Amino acid sequence: MDAFGLMRRIAEMVEEIASWGYTVLAPNVFYRDGSAAELAPTEDLRIPENRAAFFQNGVMDRVNGLTPDKAEPDAAAWVATLAEHAADGPIGTTGYCMGARLAMRTAGWHADSVRAVGGFHGGGLVTDAPDSPHLAIAGSAASYALLHADHDKGLTPEHVAVLEAALTESERPHVNEIMPGAPHGYTMSDTSSWDAEGARRASVELRAVLDREVRSAG
């Protein structure tokens, strides 16, 4: 999920990935703050003003409050839950916006399980902090599909270059590109940031990395 939570679009993504033949888990990563229904937007986010207003109601407090020390045990629970319901073998992680950070970190925490990572219009993937998400790449065993938003303040071309260096140095197979003209949030059809071509490409790249690294090894 992204900062908006488990909205209709996330359910559509779950169904799409499941249609490719995968078991899919979409957790409410903000469960400490409330249920998915309690935290869901009440206005039509396809209207730009409503999308902007949503972020004035404590959303970023929830995002910033999900620190790595909280997310790590959560990720262990997600991996364990998948193991209960899916066939033996490697798994993939995927995330949108802040979810891309979780996907990358989970790959580092569970290198024995995670073989594929999809991250789309991610923000904050490269920081100066000692726990920057991009540092998880070195400890992972995954292939990466990273498609970034264009003109994104949370992930600049300089950040993309840092990601490229980390992926190359760690010899991780990868796609690491900026999607021209695609704004932050481009995969989310229930918000004003929707970009059909960006969403299509994200789906293609996610399926490719899952099929190559998860299905082929399963």
Q: What's the confidence (pLDDT) of residue 217?
A: 76
Task: With cut-offs at 50, 70 and 90, classify the pLDDT of residue 57.
Answer: confident
Residue type, 139: G
Q: Is the pLDDT of residue 216 over 90?
A: no
Percentage of the chain beyond pLDDT 70 is 100
Tell me the CA distances in angstroms from 99 to 40, 49, 84, 144, one per residue in order. 16, 23, 22, 14
Please tell me the predicted confidence (pLDDT) of residue 218. 61
| pLDDT tens per residue, range 1-20 | 999 999 999 999 999 999 99
Q: Which domains does the chain have, with CATH numbers?
A: 8-215 (3.40.50.1820)
| Beta-carbon contacts of residue 82 (< 8 Å; ≥ 6 apart) | 23, 25, 91
Q: Is 93 exposed, middle or buried (0-12, 13-18, 19+ CB in 10 A)?
A: buried
Query: How many whole angstroms separate alpha carbon 135 and alpha carbon 138?
Result: 6
**Distance of alpha carbon 172 from the chain centroid:** 18
Name the region of 105 (left: φ>0; alpha: ψ -120 to 50; beta: rest).
Answer: alpha
CA dihedral 133, 65, 61, 31 (to 10 degrees): 110
Could you tell me where the beta strands, DSSP code E, fall in 121-161? 143-148
Q: Tens digits of per-residue pLDDT, 26-39?
A: 999 999 999 999 99
Q: Is the pLDDT of residue 149 over 90?
A: yes
Q: pLDDT tens digits, residue range 99-123? A: 999 999 999 999 999 999 999 999 9
Per residue in 167-190, pLDDT (tens digit) is: 999 999 999 999 999 999 999 999
pLDDT tens for 197-213 read 999 999 999 999 999 99
